[in-house]
Amino acid sequence: MPQWLLISCVIVAYLGLTLWVGLRAGHRASSTVEGFVAGDRNFGFLVMYFVTGATVFSAFAFLGGPGWAYSRGAAAFYILSYGVLGMMPWYVIGPKVARVGRQLGQVTQAQFLTGRFPSRGLSLLIAVISVAALIPYITLQIRGAGIVIEAVTEGHIPLWLGAAAAYGVVLFYVLVSGVAAVGWTNTLQGVVMLVIAWTLGLYLPFKLYGGIEPMIQGIVQQRPGLLDAPGLSAVGQAWNWAAYSSAILVSAIGLQMWPHLFMKAFTARDERTIRRTVVWFPSFQLFLVPVFLIGLAGVLYVDELPRPDFILPHLILNVELPMIMVGLFCAGALSASMSTGDALLHATASVAVEDGVRPFVPLSEIQQRRLIRWLILVAGTVAYVFAVSEGLSLVLLLLTSYGIIAQLAPPVVAALFWRRATTPGVITGLLAGTATTLLFFFQPELRPIPLHEGILGLSVHVPVLLAVSLLTPAQGDAHVQAYVSPSAD
């Protein structure tokens, strides 16, 4: 049997296993909107740990991480720096969000914010921002899956077919089982990702260089400057500290504000589960170490690869690995893609219905569930079309999304910790911050200092939120109390 056919069998077996786990998970959830969107608020520690870790680390980390280390050297290490910073505040904020959500029956980020700052316009604004940021993210995951399958089957399964197969499975289990499927498949996928990353990250340096230290020594001698922080820019010149530092800052601020991660606070069984998830997240963050070692293994082994994101599949196919390693690599890469893609698809449709439609059109429980399912299908189809089309700079769109998503942080913090915050203050702040971010993204030459556009957006957002809130009438004490000091359950 030809090698590509054997690898295809491994892929089919893995997709079958994922589908089985996803469908079985659905038996545990109720047939309510809360069951479909928030898993009946019943995720335990193990599931929450893997949901968080596997969702944060996507195909972008599994393929893009080695690509950055290979082409930009120490610049990639900024990705190591922001995870714990982004997660630590969630130890305090996450349980508070969950408590408010449980008491007020909320299942999305916009419901949480409009509970404190009542406004249908704000709900719609957050829905638009969220969906606009999530679609490019889903597209990247689908494309990642297609690229991997096409590469390892030597083109016998083209990108469009591989992506369709992997995401056909994802759509099926998300449509049938909702967030329960996301939780249990992410647990499987998280385990696979961790095992494969550590296996390959240690195996490749030993196979190619005889160890990690000889590999690093070789890079230092033959590519001086590559491993000096802040590394290289996308065009191969020295990157600057302002860009490196502000990338850490904006990513840390934005990390938990992504709707698909924020909403998981509503799925946790209790507050203790959220705290334990935060405490153990750094163990998942260390998964980036072998991911970068894989990329660094390619530095002296592979000459100028036109698309650095392909370094991992390139190494896998050119290093004469045992068949089992190639198959395992496929499972790991597909896990990274699918574990994020399923959560994104589910969040996109849930946010669109709960925050974009329901505040304007009354819907029954059955209608909500049905509409969410339809929109999961629509979002998946739109992202799939983008994924198989060439020419759209999705990475650029995604990087901008981080800046915009970070703008959701000040309203969340204000909702929980600042009694004097008002609805007009939050809306004007959000609009000003988002507009500033977009302005400096499209007109980078106008930036007063070379910081990430999201940080510049926040530097306008926060003063506007403060000033407008102080200039408008304060909210009633009883209303504010439910957020700032929510009573124990």
Tokens of 194: 């961790």
Q: What character string, x for contact with other proteins (CB under 8 A) and - otherwise, covers 280-319?
A: --xx-xx--x--x---------------------------
Q: What character string, x for contact with other proteins (CB under 8 A) and - otherwise, covers 118-157?
A: ----------------------------------------
Q: Which stretch binds other proteins (CB under 8 A): 136-144, 210-218, 416-424, 435-443?
A: 210-218
Q: How far is the CB of 224 from other proteins (least distance, A)?
A: 8
Q: Which residues pair with 43 in a beta bridge?
A: 268
Per rule CB under 8 A, is residue 262 in the interface with other proteins? no
Per rule CB under 8 A, is residue 44 in the interface with other proteins? no
Q: Which stretch binds other proteins (CB under 8 A): 45-53, 190-198, 218-226, 259-267?
A: 218-226
Query: Pick from 303, 305, 301, 297: which is nearest to 216 by CA?
Result: 297
Binding residue for other proteins, selected from 7, 25, 48, 74, defined by CB under 8 A: 74
Q: Give the position of tokens 């990247």.
A: 140
Q: Give the position of tokens 């449709």.
A: 349
Per rule CB under 8 A, is residue 30 in the interface with other proteins? no
Q: How many CB atoms lie within 10 A of CB 363?
A: 17
Q: How far is the CB of 81 from other proteins (least distance, A)?
A: 4
Angle (nearest 5°) at CA 328 between 13 and 343: 70
Q: How many CB atoms lie within 10 A of CB 210?
A: 11
Tokens of 38: 């928030």
Q: How far is the CB of 137 from other proteins (least distance, A)?
A: 24
Q: What character string, x for contact with other proteins (CB under 8 A) and - otherwise, covers 424-463?
A: ----------------------------------------
Q: Which stretch binds other proteins (CB under 8 A): 22-30, 50-58, 181-189, 275-283?
A: 275-283
Per rule CB under 8 A, is residue 238 in the interface with other proteins? no
Pick between residue 294 and residue 345 the one whose CB is nearest to other proteins. Answer: 294
Q: How far is the CB of 217 from other proteins (least distance, A)?
A: 7
Binding residue for other proteins, selected from 166, 226, 408, 465, defined by CB under 8 A: 226
Q: How far is the CB of 86 from other proteins (least distance, A)?
A: 11
Q: How many CA atoms lie within 13 A of 167 on its CB side?
A: 35
Q: How many CB atoms lie within 10 A of CB 16?
A: 11
Q: How far is the CB of 25 from other proteins (least distance, A)?
A: 28
Per rule CB under 8 A, is residue 77 in the interface with other proteins? yes
Tokens of 157: 């399964």
Alpha carbon 93 to its chain's center: 19
Residue type, 127: A
Q: How many CB atoms lie within 10 A of CB 78?
A: 22
Measured CA to CA, the distance from residue 402 to residue 78 in angstroms comes to 15
Per rule CB under 8 A, is residue 360 in the interface with other proteins? no
Per rule CB under 8 A, is residue 24 in the interface with other proteins? no
Binding residue for other proteins, selected from 44, 118, 210, 211, defined by CB under 8 A: 211
Three-state DSSP at 315 gives helix
φ, ψ of residue 58 to 5 degrees: the values are -105, -170
Binding residue for other proteins, selected from 2, 16, 206, 213, defined by CB under 8 A: 213
φ, ψ of residue 358 to 5 degrees: the values are -60, -35
Query: Pick from 480, 469, 401, 471: which is nearest to 429 by CA?
Result: 469
Q: How far is CA 81 from CA 89, 140, 202, 252, 282, in A?
A: 15, 23, 21, 9, 11
Which residues here bind other proteins, judged by CB under 8 A?
74, 77, 80-85, 88-89, 91-92, 211-213, 216-217, 219-220, 224-230, 241-242, 244-245, 248-249, 252, 272, 275-276, 278-279, 282-283, 285-286, 289, 292
